[in-house]
Amino acid sequence: MTDHQIMSRRRFLTASAATAGVMILAACGGQEPTPQASQATGNTSAAPTAAPPTAAAATSAPAITAASASTTSSSAAAPTATGAAAATNIKKGGTIKVAMIGEPPSVADAMFTTTTVTSDITRQIYEGLFTKDAKFGAKPMLVDSYTLSPDGLHYEFMLRKGIKFHNGKDFTSADVIASLKRWALMTGRGQIIFARLADAGVQAKAPLTVTMDFKQPTGVLLSFLSEVEAFVMPEEVATAVGKNKISDDKIIGTGPFMFKEHQVDKIIRLVRYDGYQPRSETPDGWSGRKVAYIDELQVLPVSDVTVASNGVTTGEYQYAPTVDNNQYRTFQNTPNVKALVLKPGGWLAVNYNKKQGIFTDKRIRQAVGLCFDCQEALIAAYGQKELTRLDPGIAAPETIWNSQAGSNIYNHKDPEAAKALLKDAGYNGQTARWLTTKDYPYHYNTAAYIKQQMEAIGMKVQLDVYDWATVVQQRAKPEVWDMIIVGLSGATHPAQQLINDKTWPGFWDNADKDQLVAQMVMESDPQKLKQTIDAYQALVYAEQPLTKIGDSFSLSLIRDEVQGFTNVLGWFFWNTGLSS
């Protein structure tokens, strides 16, 4: 699902192979709706992520060297970044105001809460050992270089020299160890990694050297370390706060902006950290060189998306990450602003109850997949084509995990073939109970369209319409429903998709799936990982635990005077400034 979805703070996926069980956190949820921006709330999930290691991290290589740190000053020349506008006339100084969808439950502690509003601010202040490139692959940040043993069990991380926290304290391996321990205490991904550690565990071998030893290959490590939640704080802060939320007076990172002030429901002020030491690499996504041009970044809670977008058009704010999708064409014709389509987004699917009822027979699931046109379903859901896309991928084309496996099955409408499958399955008119809601209109509209198509092939469908809170309660009861619409993330590592959890509503219990998920977690060779993802996606299309409809995107709005902005999920304002 997208970064504007409601979800529980912690959810795990369980995947077991013949030799080992692996728990995968679905940190971005996925069972919740993918609302239009006009329906979003402040309690949203973190931007979905988890990228596998880059090609350099293959287990066949005895050593992998990442680019060394740069000591370029913060007044370096304007960078060019993947997805960013040309930054040739940026001035140093000024203030950028962001109209945020709501007050964060924690200003900048992405270990404490998975809400997007917190992650977005955490990203400006803190850094981790790794971050993501534009394709969501893991890239070094506070790591200078690293090595991985040929057996995939031993990592050694050499940290960057000369890095200082915002309070002037030197960054060392002790800070990394304490931060990783809190990460393991607070987050599902951290718990997964620490559960796989060998007896040697995580150690500070020198002031700028950290090692991690594992009982079994854990290729997903760098992906997890690239998450915003795996940020590094001073040792004394990590030790003092433990499971508690980081208080405002302890918000101390190494990033290009530092915390200045927080007035609840009014403003969060961040200011440029002039002691910041950028990397030398060309900016790419969230990775590479970071230069803070502006003096101050102000984040102001604005819960009404209409107020937020009006504020950008009038110049009260420079950026609103959440605006009403229905105003896309209006924004395109509004002077002095740009409507930015945020990709990847979420993808919409029909999910089936595979624990009991008629959809335990995959032939009936396959019949539903053959009875409707995906483009027509997307239009029924969202009312317009501009912010949707047809693609078979479990992961979006913008990621390194996109696969076209199953493209011969995806969006292949064939009513006669569907009728033949129903006959072969012995379907005799049982009613399919579709659990839905009008709280999110696209839920109901999609169900109403597909219901008509199912009836055209001879099926009986009953729409059980409830408020969203009741839907959430009912979907956990397999005896009361057969079908439901779900939104899943296009920016999530396939191993982390909620459909992999046999306890998640839908209840897909499949040994082949479990083995492929476990292999994705262990694999560090990019080519072998790609092959495993292809096999996994082919299985999804063969078994049809759900039927993918298509991708959908959200909108943000930015003023023309903002230069160098990189349009990605998970916004940031380094390498960005105001026109001179």
Residue 68: its pLDDT value, please?
A: 33
- For the record, the structure tokens of 525 come out as 């060779």
* pLDDT tens by residue, 530-565: 999 999 999 999 999 999 999 999 999 999 999 999
Asked if 471 contacts 483 with a C-beta cutoff of 8 angstroms, the reply is no
DSSP letter (8 states) at residue 38: G
* Reported confidence tier of residue 89, pLDDT bands at 50, 70, 90: confident
Span 386-392, average pLDDT: 95
The DSSP bridge pattern shows strands 12-16 and 21-25 to be: antiparallel
Residue 114: its pLDDT value, please?
A: 83
Supply the mean pLDDT for the chain.
Answer: 86
Judge whether residue 271 has pLDDT over 50: yes
> Cis omega (within 30 of 0) on the bond before 344?
yes
* pLDDT tens by residue, 371-380: 999 999 999 9
Domain ranges of the chain: 345-554
* Reported confidence tier of residue 384, pLDDT bands at 50, 70, 90: confident
Name the residue with tokens 């979805």: 5
Judge whether residue 64 has pLDDT over 80: no
Span 406-432, average pLDDT: 97
* pLDDT tens by residue, 123-138: 999 999 999 999 999 9
Asked if 29 contacts 501 with a C-beta cutoff of 8 angstroms, the reply is no
Residue 458: its pLDDT value, please?
A: 98
* Reported confidence tier of residue 115, pLDDT bands at 50, 70, 90: confident
User: What percentage of the chain has pLDDT greater than the value 70?
Assistant: 85
* pLDDT tens by residue, 480-491: 999 999 999 999
**What are the residues facing 91 on neighbouring strands?**
578
Judge whether residue 80 has pLDDT over 60: no
d(CA 128, CA 111): 12
d(CA 131, CA 349): 30
Q: CB-based contacts of 127: which residues, under 8 Å, 6+ apart?
A: 141, 142, 231, 232, 253, 254, 255
Q: CB-based contacts of 426: which residues, under 8 Å, 6+ apart?
A: none
Residue, of 65 and 427, whose pLDDT is higher:
427
Judge whether residue 514 has pLDDT over 70: yes
Name the residue with tokens 């502690």: 109
Query: What CATH class has 345-554?
Result: alpha beta
Judge whether residue 359 has pLDDT over 50: yes
Judge whether residue 2 has pLDDT over 80: no
**What are the residues facing 489 on neighbouring strands?**
346
Report DSSP letters for 166-223, one per residue.
Answer: TTSPBP-HHHHHHHHHHHHHH-HHHHHHHHTEEEEEEEEEETTEEEEEESS--TTHHH
CA 524 from chain centre, in angstroms, equals: 20
CB count in 10 Å sphere of residue 477: 11
Residue 87: its pLDDT value, please?
A: 53
Residue 440: its pLDDT value, please?
A: 87
Residue, of 119 and 85, whose pLDDT is higher:
119
Give the dihedral sign, CA 100/102/107/113.
negative
* Reported confidence tier of residue 445, pLDDT bands at 50, 70, 90: very high
Name the residue with tokens 């396959």: 366
Give me the phi and psi of 565, to 5 degrees please. Answer: -70, 135
> Side by side, which strands form the sheet with 577-579?
90-91, 577-579, 562-563
pTM: 0.81
How close are the terminal C-alpha atoms of the chain, in Å? 38
Span 233-246, average pLDDT: 97
* Reported confidence tier of residue 111, pLDDT bands at 50, 70, 90: very high
- For 390-477, where are the E strands, in sequence order? 431-437, 460-466
Residue, of 439 and 425, whose pLDDT is higher:
425
* pLDDT tens by residue, 277-332: 999 999 999 999 999 999 999 999 998 999 999 999 999 999 999 999 889 999 99
Residue, of 395 and 580, whose pLDDT is higher:
395
d(CA 50, CA 68): 23
Judge whether residue 142 has pLDDT over 50: yes
- Shortest CA distance to 144 belongs to which of 234, 297, 279? 279
